[in-house]
Amino acid sequence: MITGRVVGVNGNMVRVEVDGNVRMNEVAYVCVEDKKLKSEVIRIRGKHAELQVFEITRGIGVGDLVEFTGELLSVKLGPGLLAQIYDGLQNPLPELAQKCGFFLERGVYVDPLDPEKRWAFTPVAKPGDVVTGGDTLGTVPEGIFQHRIMVPFNMREQYTVRRVVPAGDYTVNDVVAEVEDPQGEVYPLTMSFYWPVKVPITAYVERLQPTEPMVTKIRIIDTFFPVARGGTYCIPGPFGAGKTVLQQITSRNAEVDIVIIAACGERAGEVVETLREFPELIDPRTGRTLMERTVIVCNTSSMPVAAREASVYTAVTLAEYYRQMGLNCLLLADSTSRWAQAMREMSGRLEEIPGEEAFPAYLESVIASFYERAGVVRLKDGSLGSVTIGGTVSPAGGNFEEPVTQATLKVVGAFHGLSRERSDARKYPAIHPLESWSKYRGVTDPAKTEYARKVLFDGNEVAQMMKVVGEEGTTLEDFVTYLKAEFLDNVYLQQDAFDPVDAAVGVERQRHTFDIVFDILSALYSFTSKEEARRFFALLTQKFKDYNTSEWDSADFRRLESEIRAMVEEKTTGRDEEAEYILSRKVESHA
């Protein structure tokens, strides 16, 4: 074992004089007060290595022993990951709490996977089969999924299966197969193995362009600012605008198989709320607890800063692992700003040349490398798996021009910008419809969606003009445009998360509802006064809100829809020319 001695301490950075050769990202343990504190090599200069310590560095002094493991910072992959709550180093927090009590002790590390639990293994591979990294040896049931027991991803040669155990119950550390390489060396394989967190898992045939929408059942997202399955998106916004709540709603309702939440520096109070709520939430897909298909990697703002970076990479590695099983995974990182702040702190201690606002000059490349680990992949058996990454950003004062937000916007496919103005007005989700954007295709007709967006922009222009000249200074036509934009905002862009029907809206209902909204927005009306127009849209808005909360295709639903259509037809004199063109083009394409 290679060892070293501490020669300097600066916060959570420790400088070590090494007695041999070490490598970047290697794990080392700083020995202090009969404890071993886990750390990672982040820079090497001659005989000196600089480590970031994942624990509080209190008590470390010059001359203390450091032991280098020769292993990269890794996570343990295997059955038993689902429903777990880990810290950034993949220690299961419930087990840590049982071992340490109310306050977690430093230097205590627990096996990520229960070594005693037995899993019902069913072999798939047979003696004589030729396998390579990522191929399936067998399966075990894990919740509602069949967890594939795979050949470790770093075994890139072709191996011949010599032995596979018969079907039965085994632990994650039991040998379930033996394979032989071309040189004749035999390797025993268990149901679990380690993988370095900063190395992407690439044991697939090809990466594909994300095209299918990841349905979140949030109307403003699915219709106006969609997220592709296997794509990326970010949610920047000021404190208190609803970033964490929006992520939690997405995790409950998104049409994905696995949800991984990386609380990488979020405030402890919000994380505690998540930990308390998720085990009690019912999964709308299965009727069982939502936690059964969720993994939480928890590193709050009160934990050591170095673990924030580890938690992000731990979470994305777990997501890639389940993608290799042909599953669709959603990774929610909250909040990447605090991860970037941890990088800034470490960069300062390394005395690197700072970039904008003292963030490291390589901030953009690090953020890009994280989001690039999302994607849709085709596996060796022809099935598809995906990792979708959504990260929140907490810019100070809601300033979207700051470096972390700008670096994130350059690499993501959708931008859901939260607005202080909208959250203060109790408009939820507080996604700003004029500033947000998406490069992906949504669940509705793109031409109709663009028309509705134009109504929002035109209505906003009228609203700004009315602030100067007043309502009396606008024409009736402009005032109706303003009312249409307000109607769209109130009945479609906002949802009631407390209503059992309106909280999550499926694709079929979104398309049906949006077609009605489009008809209302594109209609030309015969109003004689602004007061008449205001009364009409106020009544229509209330009726539509009742319509949104009625059960899909129920008697109330059909009755309210008939009343809404009758109201609109009574005041309609025609349709906007642009809308007529959109509808005629659609008819021609169907023909």
Where does 7-163 have alpha helices with state H?
Answer: 93-100
What's the CA gap between 79 and 121, in Å, rounded? 11
Identify whether the C-beta of residue 503 lies closer than 8 Å to the C-beta of residue 429: no
Q: What is the DSSP string of 266-335?
A: --HHHHHHHHHHGGGPBPTTTSSBGGGGEEEEEE-TTS-THHHHHHHHHHHHHHHHHHTTT-EEEEEES-
Rounded mean pLDDT, 486-514: 95
The token duo for 426 is 């109790």
Conformational region of residue 305, where left means phi above 0, alpha means psi within -120 to 50, and beta covers everything else? alpha
Q: What is the pLDDT of residues 33-64, one digit of tens each?
A: 889 999 999 999 999 999 999 998 999 999 99
Q: What is the pLDDT of residues 551-565, one digit of tens each?
A: 999 999 999 999 999
Domain architecture of the chain: domains with CATH = 3-72 (2.40.10.170), 77-111+205-438 (3.40.50.300), 119-191 (2.40.50.100), 446-590 (1.10.1140.10)
Q: Is 238 annotated as a binding residue?
A: yes
Query: Given a cut of 90, is residue 302 above it in pLDDT?
Result: no
Confidence at residue 586, expressed as pLDDT on a 0 to 100 scale: 57
Rounded mean pLDDT, 525-529: 94
What's the CA gap between 168 and 47, in Å, rounded? 51
Q: Is 244 annotated as a binding residue?
A: yes
- List, in sequence order, every beta strand (DSSP E) within 513-566: 523-525
SS3 142: strand
Nearest alpha-carbon partner for 314 in 67, 85, 83 = 85
Beta strands 35-45 and 26-32, pairing class: antiparallel
Rounded mean pLDDT, 429-452: 95
Identify whether the C-beta of residue 423 lies closer than 8 Å to the C-beta of residue 241: yes
The token duo for 475 is 């024409």
Nearest alpha-carbon partner for 13 in 305, 399, 338 = 305
| Beta-bridge partner residues of 13 | 10, 52
What's the CA gap between 100 and 110, in Å, rounded? 11
Query: Given a cut of 50, is residue 456 above it in pLDDT?
Result: yes
Identify whether the C-beta of residue 194 lies closer than 8 Å to the C-beta of residue 76: yes
Confidence of residue 248 (pLDDT cuts 50, 70, 90): confident
What's the CA gap between 288 and 281, in Å, rounded? 8
Q: Is the dihedral of CA 66, 72, 77, 83 positive or negative?
A: positive
* Rg of the chain in Å (alpha carbons): 28
The dihedral formed by the CA atoms of 450, 456, 460 and 466, expressed in degrees to the nearest 10? 130
What's the CA gap between 463 and 479, in Å, rounded? 9
What's the CA gap between 446 and 458, in Å, rounded? 18
Confidence at residue 590, expressed as pLDDT on a 0 to 100 scale: 40
| Beta-bridge partner residues of 195 | 75
SS3 91: coil
Q: What is the DSSP string of 331-382?
A: EEES-HHHHHHHHHHHHHHTTPPB-GGG-BTTHHHHHHHHHTT-EEEE-TTS
Please calculate the CA angle 188-190-193 and round it to the nearest 5 degrees: 105
Identify whether the C-beta of residue 391 lies closer than 8 Å to the C-beta of residue 380: no
Nearest alpha-carbon partner for 297 in 283, 318, 328 = 318
Q: Is 241 annotated as a binding residue?
A: yes
Query: Given a cut of 60, is residue 588 above it in pLDDT?
Result: no
Across the chain, what does the average pLDDT equal? 93
Q: Is 326 annotated as a binding residue?
A: no
Nearest alpha-carbon partner for 5 in 57, 71, 49, 56 = 49
| Beta-bridge partner residues of 142 | 145
Rounded mean pLDDT, 207-216: 96
Which distant-in-sequence residues (6+ apart) come within 8 Å of 159 by Cβ? Answer: 130, 131, 132, 151, 179, 180, 181, 187
Confidence of residue 98 (pLDDT cuts 50, 70, 90): confident
What's the CA gap between 526 and 517, in Å, rounded? 18
Confidence of residue 587 (pLDDT cuts 50, 70, 90): very low
Q: Is 463 annotated as a binding residue?
A: no
Confidence at residue 427, expressed as pLDDT on a 0 to 100 scale: 92
By percentage, how much of the chain surpasses pLDDT 70? 99
Q: What is the DSSP string of 428-486?
A: SS-B-TTT-EESS--SS-HHHHHHHHHHHHHHHHHHHHHHHH-GGGS-HHHHHHHHHHH
Rounded mean pLDDT, 226-246: 93
